[in-house]
């Protein structure tokens, strides 16, 4: 391991938070070493080759919006921005799986949500005043369940706000945190179409967020070790002094720092008295090997179905169900058929199952309730050279790529500042 006079910053965990921290620090004069427990990087945002379908699939189709500036700047830094694509204008198409009714919200390309004032672009059967609860949410002062701030029902909720908040928070919106929902509204919807253009990694998450990051970091001299699981941190005099990994022990000098970018339930094993989110929500993704019909929009929200979002991707159709815990114990083939039935119906395809794969992530995100939100720790710890990163730290956002990247950047900035001050 290269140990320069400037010192080494050790980053534990090569999810997006860890990779973002490494990217920012790779531009500094510190040596950077990333330690990842598994054989691959990406954590909860990864692609892999699935043997049963013969396809490279994502653990879950990840949606970004053009207002996610940190995530976008991360892809710019690692040279993969062009892999994130979407419609030229912010558009969201929906279909009602029961009635077959379809509608498309067209947000336009301005920096103000003018679309709300245009009856042909907003949700059918809604008026301008129906959108006022979104403003209440955006500027909510105390954190409460969303259900305490706005009515979780009616046309605008059922046809737009509910599906949007469910996807953004990964929790039934009525119990979700108004503060976290408000941050999403302020950073996207309130900024008009310019901040709401959907962006997807059409060729897979790995090719946009992970492989280019690894190549970029290695090119800058960052050491990345896989199957390098942290087992214990040892502390002395207010600092981390030793890191015990499964296969090595690293002693830390005065100029060395640590960024812990592991999931919250792992971080508590290492950091005494750390309070972290303790409740989680799952996400179900289904991938079907079939060429999507050309008439499907780039993404399709489904109301009154099991499936919530349909993504036509090259050579496959993928579907996402947020807060999908109720589906985790259902037999896999039965679940695949139920989801496919929704897709077949709205896309006009036969009901015979194409080759498929189901991915169920039980702890996809922390539960974005007001109570769990208070359990998120700051990036700073009581130890002088130890910082935290991860979508579960205090980012002010729900658990998203944007939050993970911002947390990595923040931890990197803090460690630089602290070590520079100590020098
Ligand atoms: C199915 C699914 C769908 C999602 N959809 C979206 C979406 O549409 N839009 C969006 O913005 N976000 C989405 N997310 C959320 C997004 O994936 C996460 O917010 C983000 O990937 C979290 O990154 P992270 O680095 O904070 O954590 P993680 O990805 O969990 O990274 C932690 C890393 O630490 C490693 N590690 C653990 N223990 C150790 C140890 N002891 N030693 C060393 N390494 C260790 C892990 O292996 C992992 O690589 C989704 C998540 C899932 C699961």
Q: Give the span between the Cα atoms of 364 and 283, in whole angstroms.
A: 6
User: Same domain, yes or no, for 177 and 239?
Assistant: no
Same domain, 166 and 241: no
Residues 6+ apart with CB under 8 A from 192: 107, 108, 109, 110, 111, 112, 113, 114, 115
Ligand 1, residue 40: give the atom nearest the CA.
Answer: 49
Pocket test for ligand 1, best of 14, 15, 324 (most atoms within 8 A of CB): 15
Long-range own/partner contacts, residues 37-40 (CB < 8 A, 24 or more apart): 37/13, 37/227, 37/228, 37/229, 37/230, 37/262, 38/226, 38/227, 39/226, 39/227, 40/210, 40/226
Whether 318 is in a domain gets the answer: no
Distance separating alpha carbons of residues 61 and 75, to the nearest angstrom: 17
Q: Does 25 share its domain with 109? A: no
In a domain, 124, yes or no: yes
Q: Are residues 264 and 377 in the same domain?
A: yes
Last residue of a domain, one of 165, 196, 227: 196
| From 393, 400, 402, 403, mutation site for ligand 1 pocket: most ligand atoms within 8 A of C-beta | 400
Instruction: For residues 263 and 375, state if they share a domain.
Output: yes
Query: Is residue 300 in some structural domain?
Result: no
CA of 238 to the centre of ligand 1 (A): 29
**What atom in ligand 1 is closest to the CA of residue 270?**
41
Note whether residue 282 is domain-resident: no
Given this model, what pLDDT does residue 2 score? 45
User: Is residue 219 located within the same domain as residue 190?
Assistant: no
Within a domain: 257: yes
| Inside any domain, residue 218 | yes
Does the pLDDT of residue 1 top 50, yes or no? no
**Domains identified in the chain, total number:** 2
Instruction: Point out the ligand 1 atom lying closest to the alpha carbon of residue 59.
Output: 1
pLDDT band at 116 (very low <50, low <70, confident <90, very high): confident
Atom of ligand 1 nearest to the CA of 363: 53
Which amino acid residue places its CA nearest to atom 1 of ligand 1? Answer: 60
- Domain assignment present for residue 61? The answer is no
- For 84-177, where are the alpha helices, taking DSSP H only? 132-138, 146-149, 155-156, 162-169
How far is the centre of ligand 1, averaged over its atoms, from the C-alpha of 102 (Å)? 34
Ligand 1 pocket test, candidate residues 14, 34, 62, most atoms within 8 A of CB: 62
The verdict on 191 and 243 lying in the same domain is no
Q: Is the domain of 109 the same as that of 190?
A: yes
pLDDT tens per residue across span 365-410: 999 999 999 999 999 999 999 999 999 999 999 999 999 999 999 9
CA 119 to ligand 1 centroid distance, Å: 39
Domain boundary among 138, 163, 196: 196
Model confidence at 3, in pLDDT bands (50, 70, 90)? very low
Instruction: Read off the CATH number of the domain in which 393 is found.
Output: 3.50.50.60
Shared domain check, 376 and 267: yes
Q: Tell whether 332 is covered by a domain.
A: no
Residue where one domain finishes, among candidates 160, 177, 196: 196
Ligand 1 centroid to Cα of residue 364, in Å, is: 8
pLDDT tens-digit series, residues 131-169: 888 888 998 888 999 999 999 999 889 999 999 999 999
| Domain span holding position 132 | 90-196
| Structure confidence by residue, pLDDT tens digits, 189-232 | 999 999 999 999 999 999 999 999 999 999 999 999 999 999 99
The answer to whether residues 129 and 219 belong to one domain is no
Percent of the chain with pLDDT over 90: 86
Q: What is the pLDDT of residues 311-342, one digit of tens each?
A: 999 999 999 999 999 999 999 999 999 999 99
- Domain co-membership, 104 together with 183: yes
CA atoms within 13 A on the CB side of 100: 4
Q: Please give the C-alpha separations between residue 413 and each of 23, 213, 220, in angstroms, as whole numbers.
A: 11, 19, 18
pLDDT digits (tens, 9 = 90+) for 89-115: 899 999 999 999 999 999 888 878 888
* Best probe residue, ligand 1, of 17, 35, 45, 224 (max atoms within 8 Å of C-beta): 45
Are residues 172 and 120 both part of a single domain?
A: yes
Residues in contact with ligand 1 by the CB-under-6-Å rule are 12-18, 35-38, 43-45, 59-60, 62-64, 229-230, 261-263, 266, 283, 285, 361, 364-365, 390-391, 399-402, 404
Ligand 1 centre distance from Cα of residue 16 (Å): 7
């Amino acid at each position: 391991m290269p140990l320069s006079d400037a010192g080494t910053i050790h980053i534990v965990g090569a999810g997006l938070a860890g990779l973002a921290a490494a990217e920012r620090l790779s531009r500094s004069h510190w040596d950077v070493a990333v330690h990842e427990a598994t054989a691959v990087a990406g954590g909860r945002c990864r692609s892999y080759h699935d043997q049963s379908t013969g396809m490279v699939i994502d653990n879950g189709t990840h949606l970004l919006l053009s207002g996610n500036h940190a995530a976008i700047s991360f892809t710019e830094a690692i040279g993969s921005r062009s892999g994130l694509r979407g419609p030229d204008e912010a558009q969201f198409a929906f279909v009602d799986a029961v009635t077959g009714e379809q509608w498309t919200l067209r947000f336009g390309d301005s920096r103000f949500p003018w679309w709300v004032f245009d009856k042909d672009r907003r949700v059918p059967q809604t008026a301008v005043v129906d959108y006022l609860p979104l403003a209440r949410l955006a500027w909510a002062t105390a954190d409460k369940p969303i259900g305490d701030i706005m009515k979780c029902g009616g046309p605008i909720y059922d046809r737009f706000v509910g599906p949007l908040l469910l996807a953004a928070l990964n929790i039934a919106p009525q119990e979700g945190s108004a503060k976290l929902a408000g941050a999403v509204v302020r950073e996207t919807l309130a900024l008009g179409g310019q901040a709401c253009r959907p962006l997807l990694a059409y060729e897979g998450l790995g090719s946009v967020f992970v492989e280019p990051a690894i190549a970029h970091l290695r090119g800058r001299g960052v050491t990345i070790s896989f199957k390098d699981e942290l087992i214990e941190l040892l502390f002395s005099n207010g600092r981390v002094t030793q890191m015990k990994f499964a296969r090595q022990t690293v002693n830390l000098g005065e100029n060395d720092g640590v960024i812990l970018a592991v999931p919250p339930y792992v971080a508590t094993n290492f950091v005494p008295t750390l309070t972290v989110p303790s409740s989680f929500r799952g996400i179900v993704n289904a991938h079907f090997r079939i060429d999507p019909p050309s008439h499907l929009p780039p993404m399709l929200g489904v109301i009154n179905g099991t499936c919530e979002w349909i993504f036509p991707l090259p050579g496959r159709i993928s579907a996402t169900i947020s807060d999908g815990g109720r589906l985790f114990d259902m037999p896999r083939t039965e679940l695949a058929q139920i989801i496919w039935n929704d897709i077949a119906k709205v896309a006009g395809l036969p009901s015979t199952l194409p080759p498929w794969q189901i991915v169920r992530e039980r702890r996809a995100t922390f539960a974005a309730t007001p109570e769990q939100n208070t359990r998120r720790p700051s990036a700073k710890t009581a130890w002088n050279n130890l910082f935290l990163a991860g979508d579960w730290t205090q980012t002010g956002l729900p658990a998203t790529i944007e939050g993970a990247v911002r947390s990595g950047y923040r931890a990197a900035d803090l460690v630089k500042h602290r070590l520079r001050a100590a020098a």
